[in-house]
Amino acid sequence: MLKIFSAGNILDAYLVQSLLAEAGIETQIFNEFAQGGTGEIPFTQAYPEIWLINENDLSDAKKIIASFEQRPHETGTSVCKNCDEPNPDTFEVCWRCGTVLHTPSHG
């Protein structure tokens, strides 16, 4: 096995693992629950890590990870017209009240 990625949080680790799995690349996550130990251990040792099962997948895995790392990180926000709750622009419905945030565009 070969360590190929350290994630800043467990959600990114799961996302990267999912992207790799879609490409047929088998991985294992280590330190999945270690972030709770931050303070007891150095934070860099608590980062979730993606380890590659088959080293023959390394080239393809690196391409997928590079694409993931180049994605935009910041999103804007939309304010719900029903409850005034801010929501990420990527949400289609308000997380708080369930109101549709965006009208689908036609054309």
Task: Give the residue with greater pLDDT, 47 vs 2.
Answer: 2
What is the reported pTM? Answer: 0.60
Averaged pLDDT, 22-33: 92
pLDDT of residue 48: 93
Q: Hey, where are the domains in the chain?
A: 2-69, 75-107
pLDDT of residue 94: 87
pLDDT of residue 34: 60
pLDDT of residue 107: 41
Q: What is the 3-state secondary structure (H, E, C) of the chain?
A: CEEEEECCCHHHHHHHHHHHHHCCCCEEEECCCHHHHECCECHHHCCCEEEECCHHHHHHHHHHHHHHHCCCCCCCEEECCCCCCEEECCCCECCCCCCECCCCCCC
The rounded distance, in Å, linking the Cα atoms of 80 and 102 is: 9
For residue 105, is pLDDT > 80? Answer: no
34-91 pLDDT per residue, tens:
655 555 666 566 789 999 999 999 999 999 999 989 877 656 788 999 999 988 887 8
CATH code at 2-69: 3.30.70
